[in-house]
Amino acid sequence: MRCALEVPDGVRVCGACLLEPPPHDAARAAVDYVHPWDGLVARFKFQAALDLADVLAGRLLAAVEDDPAPDWLLPVPLSKERLRERGYNQAWELGRRVARILGCRTDPHLLLRLHDRPPQLALARERRAANVRHAFAIEPARRRELQRADVAVVDDVMTTGATAAEVSRVLLDAGAARVRWWVVARTPRPADA
C-alpha cells in the first residue's frame, strides 16, 4: 500500500495512487485518526503527553511487524523554531523507540527541515504540497550514508501525503534505494470520516 489508506481485501493500491503514484514505495498506519486515537495523538503531539510515546510506538511496531527492518529509520524533522516552542519532536520520540527495538540506525539530524512554515494542520488540502516544497534536505556532509539505503520515515499522522511525498523525493534524490512511511495514524478519506 502506498498511501496507508485502507483498501478492500485483494486490492493492493487505491485508485488515487494508481492515477498519481507517490514517490515512496509503501506506507503503513497503525490506526485511523479517529476517536479515541485522534485525541491520544493530539495529546502526545501538542500537550507533551510523552508517557503515550511507548503505547503509540508499540502500535506502530505491531503495524509493521511483517515488514523487513530498514537500514535507516528517520523521524520527520521539526523546524528549529517549532522544536524550541514544543520542546521535543514527536516523530523522534516514536522513531527512537521503534529503531531501538528493530536494531536499525536512526538519527534525528540526518533529515533536516530547512524553513519554519505554517503547520500543515492549519492549511487547506490544496495548499499543503506547496507549503512543504523545498522544506527538507539531507545533512550535506552525510548524504553518502543514504546511498542504496532502505529508509523508513516515522511520523505521528499522515493526512494528505504532501509531507511524505516531499521527504521521499529528498531521500530518493540523495540515493536511497527504497523509502517507506510508518505513521501512527492516517486520516480517513473525507467520505469515510
The CA radius of gyration of the chain, in Å to the nearest whole number, is 16
Residue 58 pLDDT greater than 60, yes or no: yes
pLDDT at position 130, please?
A: 66
pLDDT at position 126, please?
A: 66
Residue among 143, 122, 142, 147 nearest 132 (CA): 122
The mean per-residue pLDDT over the stretch 37-46 comes to 97
Q: For the chain, how long is the longest CA-to-CA vector? A: 45
Question: Which grid coordinates are listed for 25?
Answer: 514505495
Residue 193 pLDDT greater than 60, yes or no: no
The mean per-residue pLDDT over the stretch 145-157 comes to 98
Per-residue DSSP letters for 6-62?
---TT--S-HHHHHS--SSSEEEEEEES-TTHHHHHHHHHHS--GGGHHHHHHHHHH
Mean model confidence pLDDT for the chain: 88
**What are the distances in angstroms from CA 97 to CA 74, 92, 186?**
12, 8, 20
pLDDT at position 2, please?
A: 61
> Is 0.85 surpassed by the pTM of this model?
yes
Residue among 72, 105, 101 nearest 178 (CA): 72
Question: Which grid coordinates are listed for 124?
Answer: 487547506
Q: What are the tens digits of pLDDT across the range 105-146?
A: 999 999 999 987 656 566 666 666 666 788 899 999 999 999
